[in-house]
Structure 1
């Protein structure tokens, strides 16, 4: 269970990350990736992650997908 999002379990976030529908790189250093994936319950989750080592990711933001992020990654107008 996460402190700010008690309805989300860590494995839900990992599952959504592994089942990403769309991502987009943000113009930051290091590059931050915003993405939307589907959790095991069929809910869309948004996340922001950085690649902290080759093939290793740190997801530091996750929550139910917002309209803003759905637009940012091109899943909504």
Structure 2
């Protein structure tokens, strides 16, 4: 469990990633994918991940979804 956000468990992040409501690639190298999903507690989490091997992902950022990311994904006006 990350020390910076102890209220968000690894399982919460995995659930949000696997149930992503929306995601898109950013213009980075390697491509970073930003997305929003619902965790096991019903919270809307944002995440940023990179594919680190075929069918393998490294999520390096996760937190309660922000307005900025919701706007980026077109989920908020």
TM-score normalised over the length of structure 2: 0.97
Gaps of 5+ in 2: none
Question: Which ranges of 4 or more aligned residues in structure 1 deviate by more than 2 Å?
Answer: none
Residue 52 of structure 1 pairs with residue 52 of structure 2: yes
Cα offsets for 1:4-47 (capped at 9, x unmatched): 00100100000000010000110000000000000011100000
Gaps of 5+ in 1: none
Q: Count how many residue pairs are aligned between Structure 1 and Structure 2.
A: 77
RMSD in angstroms over aligned alpha carbons? Answer: 0.5
1:7 aligned residue: 7
1:21 aligned residue: 21
